Amino acid sequence: MGSGTVVVGAGQAGLHLAVSLRQGGDEEPIVLVGEEPHAPYQRPPLSKDFLAGRADQDSLAFRDPGYYEQAGIRLLTGERITGAEPGLLHTASGRTLPYERLALTLGAEPVRLPVPGAGLRGVCTLRGLEDARALRERLARAERVVVVGGGFIGLETAAVARSLGVRVTVVEAGERLMARAVAPVVSEFYRQAHTRQGTEVLLSAAVAGFEGDAAGRVRAAVLADGTRLPADLVLLGVGVRPRTGPARALGVEVDGGIVVDARSRTNVPGVVAAGDCTVRPHPLTGEGRLRLESVPSAVAQAQAAAASLLGRDEPDTSVPWFWSNQGELRLQIAGLSAGHDATVVRGEPASGQFSVLYFRRGALLAVDAVNRPADYMAVRRALTRGEHLSADRAGDAAVPLKQLLTEGTAQVR
Ligand SMILES: Cc1cc2nc3c(=O)[nH]c(=O)nc-3n(C[C@H](O)[C@H](O)[C@H](O)COP(=O)(O)OP(=O)(O)OC[C@H]3O[C@@H](n4cnc5c(N)ncnc54)[C@H](O)[C@@H]3O)c2cc1C
């Protein structure tokens, strides 16, 4: 028996990669090594049910504790990989781990704003279970929270904080919320919805720094225009930076993330990568380099990576999808809207149930669905099967979208 596969990063992608190797018939040793003290767990509830106190830690675990031994996966938690050379990894505690095949599933880390006061106590980020636990405890005592960044994590956290009765201000530097991911009409809908819940939403507002008290605790966020927002808790939700850890030491190409192809292969033979740490081609067109920070993408890439390590050719061409729960509002996205030249809105935003369909040269690209799961499902199915949807008819919200789908014609992808 050889030294098998080492998977570095025991998160969403790492777990699925190890499981996929076993399911794919791999009988060689598998070591899954992660620096967090926990067995792999789900992150999405950290800004939703776990933060709100509706889910406990045990419910986050992907697998029962006994699974790893049964599956022959050696799980090393609390071990950080600090060095690498071909065939050998070094851990912070002084262990060496030999490998024949290597999978890098290192995830990403929150960006900390480079402004004065960002290191004060009470200025938090949210990525892992320990972050969420600390945030939950602080929220229970907080009176005023400033959330910096109007993206998914910031808004989900704002919704939970409001539901706990805390005063919340969201400060977004851009002109609209979730601008990277959704259409303007969706951004505006969410601005109004959060405002109705009592959250103050400031757009085009940049944070210049934070003020603290003598004990080093945050007391206020200060905006570029001089506005002072009192706060005893701040959440920074301003994006993540991919972790590339041992990649460079091994000669693996890094360009805004670990560069992989549709089969999750890096430029170094025997080294694959998956999840938030990667940049990968567009799954449907094969073009460009994208970073998709989502559970479905991490899982699909992990499966492609496991196939590659097993010598099988199973590229990830799955339709990207994503969800975000903010209070009662369920946003579901399928496809990628970049490059669209037309949008069609189905339903009335004022009704709280609507969707935005994106097209390019008449071909369906994506949907943002707000409390309209049937539209989301129909678009995901259409994109998966290459079915056509006429933009002219799509705006009639009374006709179920799935009735409008027709057998595949040439899709512009
Ligand atoms: C609060 C929150 C809410 C989210 N909500 C959603 C959602 O609603 N829907 C959705 O689709 N996605 C959501 N996401 C994103 C989703 O969780 C990520 O896209 C997904 O976890 C990516 O998986 P990954 O394996 O690439 O990274 P991770 O799950 O972050 O795993 C990477 C692991 O690698 C470890 N690691 C890194 N470097 C080393 C090293 N050198 N040595 C050892 N270990 C190392 C890290 O500690 C980490 O445990 C959310 C993320 C967060 C943080």
Q: Are 219 and 144 in contact (CB under 8 A)?
A: no
- Whether residue 317 is contained in a domain is answered as no
Together in a domain, 103 and 143? no
pLDDT digits (tens, 9 = 90+) for 217-273: 999 999 999 999 999 999 999 999 999 989 999 999 999 999 999 999 999 999 999
Evaluate whether residue 345 is within a structural domain: yes
Phi, psi of 122 (to 5 degrees): 95, -5
Q: Are the C-beta atoms of 263 and 313 separated by less than 8 Å?
A: yes
Beta bridge partners of 222: 209, 228
Residue 153 Cβ < 6 Å to ligand 1: yes
Sheet architecture: strand order including 81-85 = 81-85, 88-91, 96-98
Asked whether 9 lines ligand 1 (CB < 6 A), one says yes
Out of 50, 76, 89, 106, mutate this one to test ligand 1's pocket (max ligand atoms within 8 Å of CB): namely: 106
CA of 50 to the centre of ligand 1 (A): 16
Q: Is 302 in the pocket of ligand 1 (CB under 6 A)?
A: no
CA of residue 167 to ligand 1 center, whole Å? 29
| 43 C-alpha to ligand 1 centroid (Å) | 6
Within a domain: 411? no
Q: Is 32 in the pocket of ligand 1 (CB under 6 A)?
A: no
Instruction: Tell me, yes or no, whether 304 and 402 share the same domain.
Output: no
**Same domain membership, residue 230 and residue 117:** yes
Rounded CA-CA distance 132/242 in Å is 20
CATH number of the structural domain spanning residue 363: 3.30.390.30
Ligand 1: centre distance to CA 260 (Å):
18
Does 316 fall in a domain? no
In this structure, the answer to whether residues 123 and 232 fall within a common structural domain is yes
Among residues 79, 178, 161, the alpha carbon closest in space to that of 126 is found at: 161
Q: What is the CA(104)–ligand 1 centre distance, in A? A: 12
Residue 269, classed as helix, strand or coil, is coil
In the beta sheet, which residues pair with residue 31?
6, 74
Token couple for 70: 């049964």
- The answer as to whether 256 is a domain residue is yes
Report the pLDDT value the prediction gives residue 3, as an integer from 0 to 100.
86
Q: Do 70 and 160 fall into the same domain?
A: no
CATH of the domain at 140: 3.50.50.60
Q: How far is CA 335 from the centre of its chain?
A: 15
Which residue among 309, 343, 367 closes a domain? Answer: 309
Which protein residue has the closest C-alpha to ligand 1 atom 21? 12
127 C-alpha to ligand 1 centroid (Å): 7
Same-domain status, 125 and 220: yes
3-state helix, strand, coil in the chain (%, to 5): 25, 30, 45
- Within-domain flag for 190: yes
Reading the block at residue 327, the tokens are 């209070």
CA of 38 to the centre of ligand 1 (A): 13
Residue labelled with tokens 């706060």: 231
Supply 258's token pair. Answer: 């670990």
pLDDT in tens, the chain (413 residues): 568 999 999 999 999 999 999 999 999 999 999 999 999 999 999 999 999 999 999 999 999 999 999 999 999 999 999 999 999 999 999 999 999 999 999 999 999 999 999 999 999 999 999 999 999 999 999 999 999 999 999 999 999 999 999 999 999 999 999 999 999 999 999 999 999 999 999 999 999 999 999 999 999 999 999 999 999 999 999 999 999 989 999 999 999 999 999 999 999 999 999 999 999 999 999 999 999 999 999 999 999 999 999 999 999 999 999 999 999 999 999 999 999 999 999 999 999 999 999 999 999 999 999 999 999 999 999 999 999 998 998 999 999 998 998 865 544 44
Decide: helix, strand or coil at residue 15: helix
Residue where a domain terminates, one of 205, 238, 271: 238
Instruction: Answer yes or no: is 250 within a domain.
Output: yes
Pair (44, 131) in one structural domain: no
Same-domain check for residues 292 and 261: yes
Query: Are the CB atoms for 314 and 307 separated by under 8 Å?
Result: yes
Residues 117 and 224 in one domain: yes
Q: H helices then E strands: how many in the chain?
A: 9, 27
* Total number of domains constituting the chain: 3
Taking only the tens place, the pLDDT of each residue in 10-51 is: 999 999 999 999 999 999 999 999 999 999 999 999 999 999
229 and 248 co-located in one domain = no
Same domain, 223 and 121: yes
Residue ranges making up the domain that contains 355: 328-406
Closest ligand 1 atom to Cα of 275: 26
Distance 244 CA to ligand 1 centre (A): 13
Q: Cα(96) to centroid of ligand 1, in Å?
A: 25
Ranges assigned E (strand) in 233-283: 233-236, 240-242, 258-259, 271-273, 278-279
Domain boundary among 309, 344, 365: 309
- Which is the closest atom of ligand 1 to the Cα of 15? 25
Element (H, E) at 101: strand 101-104
User: Which residue has the CA at smallest separation from atom 7 of ligand 1?
Assistant: 44
Residue 50 CB less than 6 A away from ligand 1: no
Evaluate: CB of 127 within 6 angstroms of ligand 1. yes
Domain membership of residue 284 (yes or no) is: yes
Kindly state whether residues 117 and 231 are assigned to the same domain.
Answer: yes
